[in-house]
Amino acid sequence: MRRLRRCLQHWMIRSLGYWNPRNSRVCGKSGTQGALTGVGLSIGYPLALNGSPAGLSVMSAAPGGPAEKAGIMSGDVILAIDDTSAQDMDIYDAADRLQGPEGSSIDLTILSGADTRHVVLKRERYTLNPVRSRMCEIPGSEDSSKIGYIKLTTFNQNAAGSVKEAIKKLRENNVKAFVLDLRNNSGGLFPEGIEIAKIWMDKGVIVYICDSRGVRDIYEADGASTVAASEPLVVLVNKGTASASEILAGALKDNKRAVVYGEPTYGKGKIQSVFALSDGSGLAVTVARYETPARTDIDKVGVTPDRPLPASFPTDEDGFCSCLRDPASCNLNAARLFVRS
């Protein structure tokens, strides 16, 4: 059990351009600090094989990182790294190639939709704040309904504390409900995902850890860490929502704590341990999988939302507040935002 729990600390391999498979023990730690050096990409293997382009799928681009500033988005495909084809490239080989000293450059061939382009990125050091928040209002009554919007971009070591602080500040503005935006959040530290679930839940299963013999561990909320278990809650997800984000979204959905909006999530349901090999490479071995409280195995399928989001729905806090002020501009029924059906 101790071995499995150690694996859970590092199971989300973040390919942000600085992870080194020669030191697999720090693979989770190096991708979960506040200050990062790299190109700001989280990558995975494409899930569809029938006719889809070969390469590595972009799960998300870190806000403020070089990749995002170059216009690389979730769903794009990396076809080549420095003129080396990514068609059969191992994800850990790709992570090794993406890393490098601050200020050095890397050339990526990116497929965005039907368009292929070359992008030269300069590796940078940047600060990744896991949380952005804002108070928004729905007009139409004498006392406008106030909603607290929280954008969670990653599960680093500061994530749970930052979410609690955001809730505290929003409550000072008398918010009546919350929206938790997990879109393009590709995961991070497993324990932070569990702690953030406990912030919103006072009871219930968060996730089951299973292997071929059945359930090996159960994570539950007991009320000890609860901060906001009563206010209405909406969770936003998309295909860039992965790993720890899916654990959180699945827990809040299955326990009927939140209404989940968006599109099916990425579908990363395997727990892997990385072992260093003598030639300096790394071997990822699947040691378990996670299942949502409803016993749904989401690997390669994802969490299915309760309701879709309009195609015109904004992706940032300013756009979200504007959408609430003028729901017709984004095809949103703001009055029924927190209604499950």
Residues noted as catalytic:
243, 268
| Torsion of Cα atoms, 309 then 182 then 284 then 287, to 10° | -90
Cα–Cα distance, 188 to 185 (Å, whole number) = 9
Cβ within 8 Å of residue 323, ≥6 positions away: 313, 314, 329, 330, 332, 334
Cβ(154)–Cβ(192) below 8 Å: no
User: In terms of DSSP bridges, do strands 270-276 and 77-81 run parallel, antiparallel, or are they unpaired?
Assistant: unpaired
Whole-angstrom distance between the N-terminal and C-terminal Cα of the chain?
A: 40
Closest CA to 146 of 134, 154, 159, 135: 135
Name the residue among 197, 193, 121 with its Cα closest to residue 157. Answer: 193
**Using alpha carbons only, what angle is made at residue 58 by residues 283 and 84, rounded to the nearest 5 degrees?**
65
Could you say which DSSP state residue 305 is in?
Answer: P
Residues 6+ apart with CB under 8 A from 230: none
Cα gap 199→300, rounded to integer Å: 27
92, two tokens = 């850990």
CB 196 within 8 A of CB 235: no
Task: Report yes or no: 291 and 208 within 8 Å, Cβ to Cβ.
Answer: yes
Does residue 104 contact residue 123 with C-beta atoms inside 8 Å? yes
